[in-house]
Amino acid sequence: MAEIVLDEVTKRYPDGALAVDKISLDIADGEFVILVGPSGCGKSTTLNMIAGLEDISEGELRIGGKVVNNMAPKDRDIAMVFQSYALYPHMTVRENMAFALKLAKTPKEIIDQKVGEAARVLELEPHLDRKPANLSGGQRQRVAMGRAIVRDPAAFLMDEPLSNLDAKLRVQMRTQVSRLQKRLGTTTVYVTHDQTEAMTLGDRVAVMRNGLLQQVGTPQELYERPRNLFVAGFIGSPSMNFLPATIEDGKLRTRLADLPLTDQLRRTVGGATGRDVIIGIRPESFEDASLVTPENRPNGVTFHASIDVVESMGSDVFVYFTLEGKQDVSSAELDELARDSGMADVGASADQVVARLDAATQVREGDNAELWADTRKIHVFDPANGSNLSLATPDSAAAAGSLTDS
Amino acid sequence: MATTARQKVGWGTANTVAIFLALVPLLWIVSLSFKDPATITDATFWPKKWTWENYRGIFKTSEFTRALINSIGIALISTLIAVVLASMAAYAVARLSFPGKGLLIGMSLLIAMFPAISLVTPLFNIERTLHLFDTWPALIIPYVAFGLPLGIYTLSAFFREIPWELEKAAKMDGATPFQAFTRVIAPLAAPGMFTTAILVFIFCWNDFLFAISLTSTTNSRTVPAAIAFFTGSSQFTAPTGSIAAAAVVITIPIIVFVLFFQRRIVAGLTSGAVKG
């Protein structure tokens, strides 16, 4: 058991490429922290640096209070679960799990006892004498977990451990990983590109982009108070809708409607008139206007939109529509999000809006429906640097974040 | 794809012809080795009178047995050195990026392509100057040199197929780099090393050119070269029967190898060819 502290940890490759840029992160003892971001954001490199599989160019890494920058992986007392599981194909399940203990010259009785215990927890007992090649994907994944837990390490590192499983099994294993971590109470750093996994598993989630840490916080905090455009677009499924807007005459002029400026916005943008901004609104913040209670109505605005597509999920209905306007939103962060989600590949237009409506809605494809949007939940972003203008200053946001952590 | 009867007959004929062409010389040598010296030239394919005389004859003198020992010793030592060196080089080629990697691969390919005959004269002079001529190292050195490219190509293809994450996992499990190699990577690469060893051994075992040029006495003369020095019972009789018997004796280990390890050899050759 140990806490892991990253203090301005940086990874620079010999060719000058900067993979990880001054990441500072305090991971408390027993905490489950997720590193999430699109591919190439440096999350795996960060994990490999914690593991000791890659050198740290600058900064300091402490595990359990000890600086481990120059320590070999075997001396760091951490176990890792790999995306490919990396089971030793020539060893049985039992030998795979016992390998680390054998290398550490643990007495045989203790090895047997620990392997037996891990096998029981992971329901691998009937498979102990089989080779990995004869196991199913889910079983292999459990062996990989077993190999990590038999060692009672100070910390677990997991590199996309569920991404090789099919969708259904992934959801089951997700719960199992979560239960296992709670039970063992071992500090865990988990890397994934899947925001659902990040949101459901983590005590805290660290969102990365281009080697930079964007925001660290509880899943709820990232969802409700994203610090910038990237975090806002990355967290949440379906993702947040972004629309261009202008601040004019003390109002926020959007394609939905003209909105009054909140006090917070008034403070951050001042009296600047004609300033372009990007507004973000989550699909969940929309509702079919006919289903909104009269007392709730004043909290939002109603508008008309012609519905392109209706997808009924049973519990909810997703509707897609486009709001006519003179220009699309564009920013480097949104471009990257589009690339990551594959939006750029399918050629979906950026100004398409998704709304998540109650299942009771009568909206049909082709309708010019009246929708309601909750204006309390609209975020306003600065197109230049992506920062969230509707939030309090970063300092007070961080303070609020640390309050919710404890 | 359905094969018609016509196709079956066509392929069957082609295969029979190919096997016939390959087997006739071999059967002929076997037949010759069992013929009585007096009937060697009787122009029949099968011996009229079967005899072990030729085999007894070649094992009677030390000329052949000594050559057999040389052959086995030189081929085994060369194979061992070549495989150990090649596995290290191949591991580096497959796993590391270092300056001059392309050059190393290019050079080893160049050596493999080099016509051996053009090296015989310089090697002869060098080895005479260094007093290596007609010793075991005289043959081991060129054999290792020519076995290495073969080994590096075959083995690097095998190493490349072993996922790198296994090594990382071993490191995380507390293995030193040496332990990771001996307990995880080497056992997985064992089929590859084995294949390489067989291929290199066959190359050393069959070589005639270096054996005839760089040896002069029974000190280091290997069987293929020694056979050329066989003499008949008198000055005017050709030692045909003895040569045939010796040829059969040295072919047997190769046939046994190939029969037992057919699959491995083919896998090794193709993996080297396609992915090397």
- Give the pair of three-digit tokens for residue A113: 């006892």
Question: Mean per-residue pLDDT for B137-156?
Answer: 90
Q: How far is B77 from chain A (nearest CA, A)?
A: 29
Q: Name the residue among B168, B184, B188 with its Cβ closest to that of A53.
A: B168
Question: Mean per-residue pLDDT for B226-242?
Answer: 76
Contact A300, A281 (CB under 8 A): no
Q: How many CB atoms lie within 10 A of CB A95?
A: 15
Q: How many CB pairs under 8 A join A and B?
A: 55
Q: Is residue A116's pLDDT more than 80?
A: yes
Phi–psi pair at A202, nearest 5 degrees? -80, 145
Confirm or reject contact between B121 and chain A (CB < 8 A).
no
Q: Is residue B21's pLDDT more than 90?
A: yes
Confirm or reject contact between A90 and chain B (CB < 8 A).
yes
Confirm or reject contact between B174 and chain A (CB < 8 A).
yes
Please indicate, yes or no, whether the overall pTM of this predicted structure exceeds 0.95: no
Across all residues in chain A, what is the average pLDDT? Answer: 86
In the chain, the amino acid numbered A146 is: G
Give the confidence band of B229 by pLDDT, cuts at 50, 70, 90.
confident
Contact B115, B183 (CB under 8 A): no
What pLDDT is stored for residue A46 in this prediction?
94
What pLDDT is stored for residue A7 in this prediction?
92
Q: Is residue A109's pLDDT more than 90?
A: yes
Chain A residue with minimum CA distance to B163: A86
List, in order, residues 6 or more apart from A358 with CB less than 8 Å away.
A287, A288, A291, A316, A317
pLDDT digits (tens, 9 = 90+) for A13-70: 888 889 999 999 999 999 999 999 988 889 999 999 999 989 999 999 999 889 999 9
The CA angle B105-B156-A143, to the nearest 5 degrees, is: 150
Residues 147..166 of B with a Cβ closer than 8 Å to A: which? 163, 165-166
What pLDDT is stored for residue A403 in this prediction?
37
Q: Name the residue among B166, B179, B188 with its Cβ closest to that of A103.
A: B179
Q: Name the residue among B169, B176, B179 with its Cβ closest to that of A86.
A: B169
- Give the pair of three-digit tokens for residue A302: 């109603």
Q: Which residue has the higher pLDDT, A268 or B210?
A: B210
Q: Is residue A102's pLDDT more than 70?
A: yes
Contact A8, A59 (CB under 8 A): yes
Residues 21..40 of A with a Cβ closer than 8 Å to B: which? none
pLDDT digits (tens, 9 = 90+) for A270-305: 666 778 888 899 999 999 988 888 888 888 888 888
Residues in chain B: 276
pLDDT digits (tens, 9 = 90+) for A142-187: 999 999 999 889 999 999 999 888 888 898 889 989 998 998 899 9
What pLDDT is stored for residue A282 in this prediction?
93
Give the confidence band of A397 by pLDDT, cuts at 50, 70, 90.
very low
Q: What is the CA radius of gyration of chain B?
A: 23
CA distances from A244 to A47, A252, A306, A323 (A): 37, 10, 19, 10
What pLDDT is stored for residue A393 in this prediction?
55
CA distance A236 to A282: 8
pLDDT digits (tens, 9 = 90+) for B163-206: 888 888 998 898 888 888 888 888 888 878 888 888 899 899 99
